[in-house]
Amino acid sequence: MLIAEICTNIQVQLIDRPFTYLVPDHMKFLTAGWRVFVPFGNRKRIDGFVLSVKEVADDQNFAFKLKPIEEVVDDVAWFTPEMLNAAKWLADFYLCPLAQAMSLFMPVKHSRSIKAKFERIFKLAGTFNDADFKRTPAQLQALKILREHSELTSAQLRELKISTATINKLLPTGLVSVENRRVLRDSYADIKVTPKVFELTAEQIAAVDAVKKSIDAKIFQGYLLHGVTGSGKTQVYIEVAKVARQAGRRVIILVPEIALTGQIVTNFKMHFSDVVVIHSGLSVEERNDTFHRIRNGDAGIIIGARSALFTPIDDVGLIVIDEEQDYAYKQDNPPFYHARIVAEEFAKFHNAAIIFGSATPSLETFHRAQIGELEYLSLPRRISNHPLPKVKCVDMRQELQFGNKNVLSRALQALLTHTFAKNQQAILLLNRRGFFTFVMCRDCGHVIHCPECGLPMTYHKDKMLHCHHCDIEREPPTVCPACSSKRIKYFGTGTQKLEQELEINFPDAKVLRMDRDTTTKKLSHQKILDAFKNDGYDILCGTQMVAKGHDIPSVTAVGILSADSSLNFPDFRAGELCFMLITQAAGRAGRAEFPGYVIVQAYNPDAPAVLFGCRQDYESFCEYELAEREKYFYPPYSRLIKIIFMSENQDYAKERAEFFVSEFKAEFNFDAARTEIEGPIPAMIAKLREVFRFAVLIKTEDLDAVREFLRKKNLHVFDSVQIDIDPLITN
């Protein structure tokens, strides 16, 4: 008889093991990789993944104890051998349940069915005599139209005024044939492009030639493509993708934000006809159709956010991580994988080249290039030698001293006035959302916090308080809950408030806002950017999503508000975040024939990150910041593991964390290899949904040894413990 080892799609760490099921006779075709429905405990039906199928001796007693597989989910095995191996590596590396890792490879988690869409195709199947249809002119007209076309869909026939009833009457005659054909939904199908010929710079040619060597040799090699903003990194990606496609191999292009997808898809469609897109902003059906095209070999270029890594793709020759420094590549819920790390491992699986591209590479990636782990490729000049924008920093403390309480400095107001007079465009970046940032009592200083997670709530234009972490909302209080004072005031400036102030200061300017609140609908990012480019808008204001990757020729002015606010973030990467924000946002200005100008507004203009950012001096910033990192044993000189201990009992959570720290210190010889442990301390979100959280941070040069210790202690099997390898936030 046949039995199958099945990983049930129940993402509970305590039951992270496969279960054995009986394979019915009519399912003997099953192999590893199929999705099936099985009974589990008191649940009648859950989905699971077949890990293996094997023949065992007939044993009635054994068979009696086994539950049979109930149903197959798909028409073919969902997981390829490569996908299964990748999922097992993910589960092992990130210490997460296998089902959790395997769920990453699904278009949507826990989906019961994903329906394919079909349309009817009609063709002329024989010859006809006009005289035979004298009494049915509608049928004759339909036959004549079908004779003029090789095939027509039902929708096309309706457009030609041919009714469904007329066609149905013709089907029994044998003169018309019909077939059902699958429709593959694609929100990017209507992108119209005009092919262009680009003359590469000497630096671009050198970069392409370097990557071509590893693609041609089918060997793994990692590259850092470090190019200033506007230097033509995308064209390098396109040229090396051509090399991979000519060799019959496929390509994955990752971008950090959905907002960047449309632009890079347009650029690639100028050169390739087999481009598909995958990201969470698409419908489940579209994502499933994209998987179908990839599985059938109809897609050679896969573009998308981090989830584009988890498609049924084979024979990959090239992976590109654009804007590789971006935090969006790190998943912020279990499993806490980083697409940069996963993509490199996948490239090794496929013997592929991988390019990490950025104007401001992460310090970890830049350091790897310095020590030779990655080959360094440089694009130090903008295309056509356009100069980088001129950047001026404004001290907002002095603005207040001069009596300017406006969110816009006098210099920025003057720049915007000058820009609009020349019929040019501006981008304003504010690293906040909402109408006001927080609500505070002016008498006692009490700030209104989220009852679930304890973070300050944000006041929005809908006159409600929103928590941007828990996605809950509350009515703002009329009196202070701490002291009963009625002196409640809204502090700070959010994107909605900024939009309002722009409309007041520049009543003739057309303002467009792009933040989380305006981009909830499908493809709304692209619609906003298209409107800004084509519909006469003067200002695009928004959060960090306006700062990266966009190439809009008529943008000559950029304003960065609260540029140094990230320096108040309690994390060792705060300076790096500030520097990158300034450099990336400034890079949106002056990318075409008109020069660019940038105003950076800061309350701490002498901070090194602000100074280096305004100079757009990446190398000097790295030299300064790497010295600080080495002094305090932070990445790239160590690897980090953050562990969160959780319990509804605050004392128990803390005691459990303290006990782990004592065990860890007893295990590791801190003189043999640099390994440090810090904490426990209350996590940044110290309480979430009535659960208390304490954080422990491990720094180590030997990540494998620490992971093995955690595995030996079975720490990863408890739902009350979260293990985050290579965290971006350390508490």
Q: Which residue has the tokens 């008889």?
A: 1
Condensed to tens digits (0 to 9), the pLDDT of residues 84-142 reads: 999 999 999 999 988 889 889 887 654 455 878 888 999 999 899 999 898 899 999 99
Least reliable range by pLDDT among 330-344, 388-402, 434-448, 581-595: 434-448
Percent of the chain with pLDDT over 90: 54
Q: Is the pLDDT of residue 337 over 70?
A: yes
Residue 250 — pLDDT band, cuts 50, 70, 90? very high
Neighbours of 649 (CB within 10 A): 11
Higher pLDDT, 58 or 492: 58
CA triplet 465, 471, 474: central angle to 5 degrees? Answer: 30
Fold for 639-725, please state it. Answer: Alpha-Beta Plaits (3.30.70)
Hey, which bits of 415-472 come out as E strands?
425-430, 438-441, 458-459, 465-466
For all residues of the chain together, what is the average pLDDT?
88
pLDDT of residue 209: 97
pLDDT of residue 356: 98
- Any idea how long the chain is? 731
Cβ 721 vs Cβ 713: under 8 Å = no
What sign does the dihedral 558-578-373-354 (CA atoms) show? negative
Most distant CA pair in the chain, distance: 99
Q: Is the pLDDT of residue 48 over 60?
A: yes
How do the domains of the chain map onto residue ranges?
A: 2-103, 117-183, 202-384, 386-437+492-630, 639-725
pLDDT of residue 437: 64
For residue 581 the two structure tokens come to 């924000």
Hey, which bits of 56-189 come out as E strands?
71-72, 117-124, 152-153, 176-183
The domains spanning 117-183 and 639-725 adopt the same CATH topology: no
> Would the pTM count as exceeding 0.95?
no
For residue 599 the two structure tokens come to 């105003």
What's the rounded Cα separation, in Å, for the pair 15 and 30? Answer: 24
What's the one-letter identity of residue 33? G
Rounded alpha-carbon distances, angstroms, from residue 34 to 80, 288, 309, 720: 9, 16, 20, 31
Fold for 117-183, please state it. Answer: Arc Repressor Mutant, subunit A (1.10.10)
Rg (CA), the chain: 29
The angle, 0 to 180 degrees and rounded to 10, between the axes of the packed helices 618-631 and 574-586 is 170
Q: Yes or no: is domain 386-437+492-630 CATH 3.40.50.300?
A: yes
Ramachandran assignment for 88, one of left (phi > 0), alpha (psi -120 to 50 degrees), beta (any other): alpha
Residue 561, phi then psi, degrees to nearest 5:
-95, 140
Q: Is the pLDDT of residue 29 over 90?
A: yes
**In DSSP terms, which residues pair with 436 in a beta bridge?**
459
Q: What is the CATH number of domain 202-384?
A: 3.40.50.300
Query: Average pLDDT, stretch 23-45?
Result: 88
What's the rounded Cα separation, in Å, for the pair 293 and 300? Answer: 9
pLDDT of residue 434: 47
Q: Is the pLDDT of residue 618 over 80?
A: yes
What's the rounded Cα separation, in Å, for the pair 279 and 253? Answer: 12
Rounded alpha-carbon distances, angstroms, from residue 582 to 179, 314, 381, 566: 57, 39, 18, 11
Q: Helix, strand, or coil here: 516? A: helix
Least reliable range by pLDDT among 59-68, 652-661, 684-693: 59-68
pLDDT of residue 13: 57
Condensed to tens digits (0 to 9), the pLDDT of residues 419-476 reads: 999 999 999 998 764 445 667 776 776 778 888 766 678 777 677 888 766 678 888 8
What's the rounded Cα separation, in Å, for the pair 477 and 674? Answer: 51
For residue 117 the two structure tokens come to 């869409």
Q: Is the pLDDT of residue 268 over 90?
A: yes
- Say how many Å lie between the first and final Cα of the chain, rounded: 52
Condensed to tens digits (0 to 9), the pLDDT of residues 494-528 reads: 777 888 889 889 999 999 988 877 888 887 888 88
Q: Is the pLDDT of residue 602 over 60?
A: yes
What's the one-letter identity of residue 292? H
Cβ 485 vs Cβ 445: under 8 Å = no
CATH match for 2-103 among 3.90.930.12, 3.40.1440.60, 3.40.50.300, 3.40.309.10:
3.40.1440.60
Rounded alpha-carbon distances, angstroms, from residue 510 to 433, 538, 598, 658: 20, 5, 20, 56
Residue 338 — pLDDT band, cuts 50, 70, 90? very high
pLDDT of residue 433: 46
What's the rounded Cα separation, in Å, for the pair 590 and 388? Answer: 7
Query: Alpha helices, DSSP H only, in 599-684?
Result: 608-615, 618-631, 650-667
Which of 41-55, 273-287, 631-645 shows the highest mean pLDDT? 631-645
pLDDT of residue 457: 81
